[in-house]
Amino acid sequence: MKIEPNRKLDCLGLYCPEPVFRTRMELNEMQVGEILEVLADDPAAEDDIRSLVKNLGQQIVSVTRTGKQVQILIRKVK
């Protein structure tokens, strides 16, 4: 089953701390149950965003890596 995100955040070409900062800002605007797709190519982005999501009490739905690019789907749960 393919999950369709409610919002998409393109952080390609951005480096720490931009992807994490923008992900947090986007999550703040979202409603519970919505899914955010984050695209990033900063080597630190995956770990940084995983930490952010855990600290905020949200849920990572999936992480897909294609070459240097990572796609992270995050569900807002609270």
Residues serving a catalytic function are: 16
| Separation of alpha carbons 7 and 24, rounded Å | 13
Q: Helix (H) and strand (E) counts for the chain?
A: 2, 4
